[in-house]
Structure 1
Amino acid sequence: MAVSLAQQRDEDGFATAYRLGHPGLLGYLRGLVGDDAEDVASDAWLEIAWDLGRFRGDGAGFRGWTATIARHRALDHLRKQKRRPRTSLIEQDVLALPGRADTVDAVLESMSTKWALGQIRELPPDQAEAVLLRVVVGLDGPAAARVLGKRPGAVRTAAYRGLKRLAEQLTSGSGPEQAADAARGTVKDGT
C-alpha cells in the first residue's frame, strides 16, 4: 500500500516505505561497505525515489528491488575504493526493537548483535551476503538470488552453510552469553 502511494508521489506513502525498508537495507549495506553504508544508502534512496514509477510488484518485491539498487551502489562504491566487499558491524539501531526502556537490556542486546555480526564477518563472502539478505533484509531465497544474480538454490545453500557455521560457533561455547555475562558483571560492579 505504501509503495503504491509513493508511486503516486504521496510523501507520506514514501516516508512509510522508507521507514519500513531503510533499517534492513542499511544493515545489508553495512555488511558490504562498513562505515560508508549511510552514504551508499543515501545514493540508493535517491535512485529508488527517481525510478519508483518503474517499479512493479508488492512489498516483498519492493524490498528485493531496493536491495538490488543498494547492492549496485555498494559495488560501485567498492570499485571506487578498490577494495572487496566485507562485512562489518551493524549498529544496534538497525536491529533494535522500538520502545526499549531498559538500558542494561539495550546494552546487552547491542553486545549480542555486535558478536553475531562479528561472526558473520568471518564467514566466506558469499555466505555472509546470503545471510545478510535473508536474515537482516528479510528476503526469501528467490528475491535474494535476484539481488545477487545467482540461482535461488545457490543462495539458499550459501545461507544454510553460513547459518550452520554460526550455529556451530554458538554450540562451541564462544557465544554472546560470555559477552553478556561480562557486561552484567561490569554493570553490577558499577564500573
Structure 2
Amino acid sequence: MQGDDAELTAAVRAAQDGDETAFRTVYRSVHPRLLGYVRTLVGEPDAEDITSEAWLQIARDLGRFSGDADRFRGWAARIARNRALDHIRMRGRRPAIGGDETELEGRPADADTADQALEALGTDRTLGLIARLPQDQAEAVVLRVVLGLDAKSAAAVLGKRPGAVRTAAHRGLRRLADLLGGAGGGDAAVLDGVPAQRESHSGTAGAAGVTDSRTRTQKDM
C-alpha cells in the first residue's frame, strides 16, 4: 500500500472510532475529487449541495464501512452517485449517455492513458473538458483518473463490467486528446504513446484542490 493510501486508510479507521480530526483528514483528501465526479453528473450549480448531502450520509454510515482507502473512495463515490441520480430523477432530467455500452464489454482498451490526463492540463480545465464527453465516458474517466479507482472498483460503482469501464475510460481520454488538439494543441500529444495496459494514477494540485499523486499496479488490469 502506497503512503497516501496508508494514511487515508488509517484516517478512515480512526474516524470510525470517533476521531473528528481524522474525519476532517478524510474529508480533505476525498472531497475535491468527489465533488469533481458529481459535477460530471449534475453540473456546476447543484454539485456542492449534492456532494454535501453525500458527506452527511458518509458520516452517518461510516461505522458500517469496512475496507481500505481504495474501498472507501469507491464506497463514497457510490453514495455520491446515488444522491446525484436521485436529484436527476426529481428534476425530471436524465444523464445523457453517449453510445451503446454493450459494444464495449468485450473489447479491452489498447492502452491506459489515465496517468496522462491530469498531467496535460490544470484540474479545472480538465474537469470542464471531461464534462463535454458522453456521460458513460465522463464517469469512467473521473472515477479512474480523478478519484483514482481501479477498473474493478469503478465498475462496482457504475454497475458495469471492468472491461467496459476500461474501454469507456480509454475512449474518453482519447476524446479528451481530440478536444485538446482542437483547442490548439500541444497538450494533446501528451496523451499518445502510452505503453499498453500500464496502470497508473496521477493527480495535479489545482484550484479545485486535487492533490493526490501516485503510481500503482493493479492486479485486475
Task: Please say whether Structure 1 and Structure 2 have the same fold, judged by a TM-score greater than 0.5.
Answer: yes
Instruction: Report if the CA contact (8 A) 1:115-1:176 is conserved.
Output: no
What is the root-mean-square deviation of aligned Cα atoms in Å?
2.2
Once the two structures are TM-superposed, the CA of residue 115 in structure 1 deviates from its matched residue by 4.3
Q: Which runs of 5+ in 1 are unaligned?
A: 88-108, 178-191
Cα distance per residue 1:69-120 (max 9 Å; x no partner):
0000000011111112369xxxxxxxxxxxxxxxxxxxxx7xx555433432
1:160 maps onto 2:170 in alignment? yes
Partner-residue secondary structure (3-state), 1:150: coil
| CA–CA separation in structure 2 for the residues paired with 1:113 and 1:3 | 25
Q: Which amino acid aligns with 1:116?
A: T
Quote the Cα distance in structure 1 between the aligned partners of 2:131 and 2:32: 19
Amino acid at match of 1:29: V
Structure 2 residue runs of 5 or longer lacking an equivalent are 1-9, 98-120, 188-221
Match among 25, 28, 53 for residue 37 of structure 2: 28
2: CA distance, partners of 1:33 / 1:23: 15
Instruction: Report deviation, 1:122.
Output: 2.6
* TM-superposed deviation, 1:170: 2.7
Aligned to 1:41: 51
* Equivalent residue, structure 1, for 2:92: 82
2:74 corresponds to 1:73: no
TM-score (norm 2): 0.64
Q: Distance in 2 between matches of 1:9 and 1:176?
A: 49
C-alpha spacing 1:173/1:12, structure 2 compared with 1 (3 Å): closer
> Cα deviation per residue 1:130-150 (whole Å; 9 max; x = unaligned)?
111111211111111111010
Hey, what does 2:131 align to over in structure 1? 121
TM-score under structure 1 normalisation?
0.74
User: Quick one: which amino acid aligns to residue 129 of structure 1?
Assistant: E
- 1:11 alignment partner in structure 2: 20
The Cα shift of 1:29 comes to 0.6
Aligned 8 A contact 2:12 2:22 in 1: yes
Select 2:143's aligned residue among 133, 138, 151: 133
Name the one with the larger helix percent: 1
Which amino acid is 2:126 matched to? A
CA distance in 2, matches of 1:54, 1:4: 11
Larger radius of gyration: 1
